[in-house]
Chain A
């Protein structure tokens, strides 16, 4: 197990290094000179040249990649081109909001998606199942951006409940939660539908297995069969998908953050791209990528813990 963990971590590190190199180099293929944007229309050639030297924009790309990686390892993600603030400071200020939003959306996915699928599975081909299916499929097709706008129109604009923009403050937890509700729903809707359909299909498959038929023949109560055997086994692939989903929720938060004017990594990177603020773009994309990679790693590891068959199979392969 330890060997497996070390091997997975090493692979993760390789992926992160490749990602960092790609980010550091790709950014320089984006046309546009950040110096003229930073210094504005009053910049003279001497100032422009000086700024380019200080930003290492004249160095070869490989040198810039090396500088970026060696600094990143030491926690130095550079300075914001526009206001000289340390990028790590900007990331640390924005990151908690994105993580909270993604986790809140994930919780909603679990708390709504699972019961939705259970309800439909227990009453197959009933009105409840059909409504559940229709709702799930509709939600899958709803992009977070559209969901966000619809929620804004319905709640703050029409019903005058829940805040429209911003994130509130950590010093006011209730207010912060109020600001979190609509963005979390907007981010979660697509995945709610997806998990509901996936889990339903998985449960229907498990319902047709021989051990379930055996349990029924032994007289085990239907309720126990459903929740102890069917759901528990059907949820295993869903856990793996949720790991990927967490990474995608983090990456997809950008649309929701912009619509709701929430602070976060998405807004940070979005604004930085428009401003050609290279250090912030590099660091932001790197952090999002790292989180995605670790979310997948977590999903892989949890899959191993939850499904004993995987542990046995891996053990057999070692021997």
Chain B
């Protein structure tokens, strides 16, 4: 027999009484209501406070500073810093057009043969940090080191931009002649006004050695202050800048921030003045008070390619069928939130030379696609569609494309790889989605990858056309813009006839900024000219 209070007494589990149950329910209910109120706290209706009022422009960047030396730049932050710290003989005007203006050059003229470019420098232009005046010797040093003429050879990945440079002759302190072995068409659109044409201080490069990469010295409106790895890069206004008007901001800080929500909240609170955004954030960012998104087409492009050498795709009828099966407008809507311009060829309308305005537009036509498939000698087996993790929206685009192919009876499986590969394993790829970015305003940089010599490298389509290669080569040395443009249009026509591409989009580069505080400045290739942003 058990007794009350006995420790060993077995007790029946006691459930909550009615009173206790009501108490607990009321507690949770009150907390849930409170959470609901909190969740309902929307964004403030007022414009964001900005850090620009303190004289600092804060810019979110997708990556950290890697190498600010114009001979080696590779990250977006490198480019932002270079545009602010360095100058070239000429430079692109940051008004979204391909207009170019003299910056360090007082005058620049090209000989009739195209083999010599005479320049005269502005006098009294000083390098930062006391490295003296910019002279013709610095111009010679800057160009020849990238071209690979100086010893030891820098092995700059951008030496191709100075492909035909023979030497730079120094006539006197401020004058020189760029001497070429052959006329070089990209010289005035790509090489001189862009990164490979930036002038560095020979004294500073020799003094700083490898540290020049993260302590660059130029003549630009901003000078380099510091780099804290993974945290920020800081520039300050250069008091001795030769140009005018002086920049509005005393300091620019670049912060590598990758999280999309963090960037949006940064813009909303004013902690960030400028931030690159994804396509799906454009609508939301534009709805934030005091925030606007600049999202114009760039020169970059996206396409669905077909490896012509793969047994599944050697038959042109199969490739035609794929071309007519893909619904490009749906891909643009789903993959790019309708924020990009449909592409019809490789060169975008903003390219100074070579835009093919009459390029054909291939709309989805399932009947035509099926008819082409019927003509094919054999249907593809184990067709694959490859995407790369480095491409945002790749999954969405792949799923739409594969669904389109299924509509004409082609079953493809999606293969996702971490990044673009190189080497012979590329020959295994069949249908794929790819993008090319960082395209500068010259057709050479947009097209140089699609030649016979680029097999197993960047010519994923494995398209080899000797006539096209010849046109590419000739266009490189044709300084008559009309003739050069015609060459590139013909080149694109040959590519189109090869039926190995479904053009998707000329990509945009959405950049959010505080429109209530800032007057923006953007380059034609889409990058913000952070040094040129002004307060309103």
Closest to B78 in A: A83
A125–B418 Cα distance when bound, in Å, is 54
A176–B256 Cα distance when bound, in Å, is 19
Q: Determine chain A's interface SS by DSSP, over half rule.
A: helix
A83–B420 Cα distance when bound, in Å, is 21
Q: Is the CB of B31 within 8 A of A82?
A: no
Q: Which residues of A contact B157 (CB under 8 A)?
A: 39-40, 42-43, 47
A151–B52 Cα distance when bound, in Å, is 24
Q: Is the CB of A134 within 8 A of B31?
A: yes
Q: Which residue of A30, A41, A167, A261 contacts B458 across the interface (Cβ within 8 Å)?
A: A41
Pick the interface stretch among B60-68, B87-95, B396-404, B468-476: B60-68
A150–B28 Cα distance when bound, in Å, is 20
Q: Which residue of B75, B266, B417, B436 contacts A165 across the interface (Cβ within 8 Å)?
A: B266
A268–B214 Cα distance when bound, in Å, is 18
Residue A160 lies at the interface, judged by CB distance under 8 Å to chain B: yes
Which residues of chain A in 198-242 are interfacial with respect to chain B, using CB atoms and an 8 Å cutoff?
A: none
A48–B422 Cα distance when bound, in Å, is 10
Mark contacts of B428-468 with chain A using CB atoms, 8 A cut-off: 1 yes-contact digit, 0 otherwise.
Answer: 00000000101000000000010000000110000000000
Q: Is the CB of B420 within 8 A of A36?
A: yes
Count contacts between A and B, CB distance < 8 Å.
Answer: 139
Pick the interface stretch among B170-178, B223-231, B345-353, B354-362: B223-231
Q: Which residues of B contact A260 (CB under 8 A)?
A: 262
Closest to A41 in B: B458
A35 CB to closest chain B CB (Å) equals 9
B70 CB to closest chain A CB (Å) equals 13
Known A-B contacts A36-B422, A164-B265; the reply to A258 vs B259 at CB < 8 A is yes
Number of contacting residues on B, CB 8 A? 57
Q: Is the CB of B457 within 8 A of A45?
A: yes
A42–B449 Cα distance when bound, in Å, is 9
Q: Is the CB of B257 within 8 A of A150?
A: no
Residue A135 lies at the interface, judged by CB distance under 8 Å to chain B: yes
Q: Which residue of A39, A130, A166 contacts B271 across the interface (Cβ within 8 Å)?
A: A166
Q: Is the CB of A83 within 8 A of B449?
A: no
Q: Which residues of B contact A164 (CB under 8 A)?
A: 262, 265-266, 269, 271
Residue A58 lies at the interface, judged by CB distance under 8 Å to chain B: no
Binding site for A on B (CB under 8 A): 20, 23-24, 27-28, 31, 35, 38-39, 41-44, 49, 60, 63-67, 74-75, 155, 157-158, 160, 210, 213-214, 228-231, 255-259, 261-262, 265-266, 268-269, 271-272, 417-422, 436, 438, 449, 457-458
Given contacts A30-B418, A127-B27, could you give 17 more A-B pairs where the C-beta distance is less than 8 Å? A33-B419, A39-B157, A83-B65, A83-B213, A134-B27, A138-B35, A156-B271, A157-B43, A157-B44, A160-B49, A163-B271, A164-B262, A261-B259, A261-B266, A263-B228, A263-B230, A276-B418
- What are the 8 closest A-B residue pairs judged by CB atoms, nearest first? A42-B157, A32-B418, A263-B231, A164-B269, A130-B27, A156-B269, A164-B271, A261-B257
